[in-house]
Amino acid sequence: MIWDEEFETLPREALEALQLKRLISTLERVYATVPFYKKKFNESGIKPSDVRSLKDLKRLPFTTKADLRDNYPFAMFTVPLEQVVRIHASSGTTGKQTVVGYTRRDINTWAEVMARSLAAGGVQKNDIIHNSYGYGLFTGGLGVHYGAEKIGASVIPMSGGNTKRQIIVMQDFGSTVLTCTPSYALFLAEAAEEMGVDFKKLKLRVGIFGAEPWSERMRDEIERKLSIQAVDIYGLSEIIGPGVANECIEAKRGLHIFEDHFFPEIIDPETGEVLPYGEKGELVFTTITKEAFPLIRYRTRDISALYPEPCKCGRTHVRMERVSGRSDDMLIIRGVNVFPSQIESVLMNIEGVEPYYLLLVDRKGKLDTLEVHVEVNEKVFSDEVKDLQALGWKIEKEIKDLLGVTAEVKLVEPKTLQRSEGKAQRVIDRRKI
């Protein structure tokens, strides 16, 4: 179902005209109210009035996470705090937290794009949404909540944790939609199995999963174990929270970016040059309707590509490929660039291996080492030692063949690696400590 037929199916020309109008008004707003932007634009010798077409956007400087840190906590806001009705923050893995603010209109915009996202995943007003994204400073919980209410669905504000109770609620209340991180969805499946609850007998029919990278194989695994359809939702606090883009359930091939609110670009992360449609690079967003905290050319560090081809769902907004990793997540192991998602793909293609793994990177002397801890299923674990050893070697060989890096694989007992209620931590890099 398309939530906002008019805006989500705008012909390209009309969409671009709208984007330009909104872009110019955003640029004027930040130039007039945020000293950081005024200084940066002046240094680049460009004024908002110089931007006459969408192509001119690339003449503007990027905004980075470091800029947000330098302006911590509120110096990037365009309005006085009395107009800010909500504040969220994301902790990130390094450095100071990033603080974001919303006016009342921003909260409405967010609810609107979240309603669109949920509707794209097939959610309707008679659904019961079991929302296990964390409520709090994290944008997941409240973001989904407002979108669900806007649709008129019944939302259960579960938040993360208390996994057994989650299963009981899902069973007793007849939840039809699950919203949480993909890793937590798998954990819920595991917990249900231990409690003797059969997911196939539950009313759950769809899951809207995001906030961390996941693979096509993981989608298959979740769909099979939970007996549902799984769609991908993308977003980041800085841009608005969840609801920047969402897959449509009709195609499940890439996420439609709500381009009448967020203007996307893909750049080469090394040179900053804008790349054409279809090429992989770093996603950059400019918000064109936000009031309190607009961002101009914000470098997300997320790796993706954009596809403008028409979609069978009827939406005209471009699709982004599922995020395969972050440019700053890339591990360089003995000179070889490795993304955790590449190792995940290798693991998920091997029979007997469970979707729980941890990558441990260390430096012994001058040499980097990579240990891959991965859980195997009960059946494999009860095999003879020599079979387990052979499986370990097989994984090592596949990693070496496909990624060109030597890893030491440790097969661990089922259910021994830490489960996450929110974003899973899959890499420990001891070299930085």
For the segment 266-305, give every residue that binds ligand DLL (CB under 6 A): 300, 302
Site string for ligand DLL, 128-147 (x = CB under 6 A): -----x----xxx-------
Bond preceding residue 73 cis, omega within 30 of 0: yes
For the segment 236-255, give every residue that binds ligand DLL (CB under 6 A): 236-237, 241-242
**Residue 215 sits in the site that holds ligand DLL (CB under 6 A):** no
The binder of ligand DLL chosen from 48, 160, 207, 235 (CB under 6 A)? 235
Both structure tokens of 342 = 């590449």
| DSSP β-bridge partners for residue 86 | 102
- Per CB under 6 A, the segment of 20-28, 33-41, 209-217, 399-407 that binds ligand DLL is 209-217
Residue 189 CB, shortest distance to ligand DLL, in Å, is 19
**Residue 212 sits in the site that holds ligand DLL (CB under 6 A):** yes
**Which C-beta is closer to ligand DLL: that of 90 or that of 420?**
90
**Which C-beta is closer to ligand DLL: that of 144 or that of 226?**
144
Site string for ligand DLL, 173-202 (x = CB under 6 A): ------------------------------
| Pairwise CA distance, residues 162 & 152, whole Å | 26
The binder of ligand DLL chosen from 299, 326, 373, 426 (CB under 6 A)? 326
Contacts with 303 (C-beta within 8 Å, 6 or more apart), sequence order: 269, 280, 281, 282, 283, 323, 324, 325, 326, 327, 339
Residue written as tokens 């007996």? 227
Both structure tokens of 33 = 């109210």
**Which C-beta is closer to ligand DLL: that of 233 or that of 331?**
233
Residue 243 CB, shortest distance to ligand DLL, in Å, is 8
Report strand pairing: 206-210 vs 177-180: parallel
**Which C-beta is closer to ligand DLL: that of 48 or that of 141?**
141
**Which C-beta is closer to ligand DLL: that of 27 or that of 255?**
255
The binder of ligand DLL chosen from 101, 121, 207, 213 (CB under 6 A)? 213
Both structure tokens of 47 = 């004024």
Please report, for residues 183, 254, 285, 339, 376, the alpha-carbon distance to residue 426 in angstroms, rounded to integers and kept in the order given: 11, 24, 26, 11, 16
- Per CB under 6 A, the segment of 122-130, 153-161, 210-218, 425-433 that binds ligand DLL is 210-218
The binder of ligand DLL chosen from 90, 227, 369, 420 (CB under 6 A)? 90
| Pairwise CA distance, residues 221 & 213, whole Å | 15
**Which C-beta is closer to ligand DLL: that of 31 or that of 234?**
234
DSSP codes, 288-350: SS-SSS--SSEEEEEEE-EE-S--TT---S-EEPPP-EETTT-EEETTEEE-HHHHHHHHHTS
- Per CB under 6 A, the segment of 35-43, 187-195, 231-239, 261-269 that binds ligand DLL is 231-239
Burial zone of 304 (CB within 10 Å; 0-12 exposed, 13-18 middle, 19+ buried): buried
Both structure tokens of 220 = 């298959």
Residue 124 CB, shortest distance to ligand DLL, in Å, is 20
User: Under a CB-based contact definition with an 8 Å cutoff, are residues 223 and 230 in contact?
Assistant: yes
**Residue 321 sits in the site that holds ligand DLL (CB under 6 A):** no
The strand ranges marked E within 149-304 are: 154-156, 177-180, 206-210, 229-236, 241-247, 255-257, 262-267, 281-287, 298-304
Nearest to 318 by CA among 29, 15, 3: 15
For the segment 147-166, give every residue that binds ligand DLL (CB under 6 A): none
Residue ranges in contact with ligand DLL by CB under 6 A: 90, 133, 138-140, 210-213, 232-237, 241-242, 300, 302, 323, 326
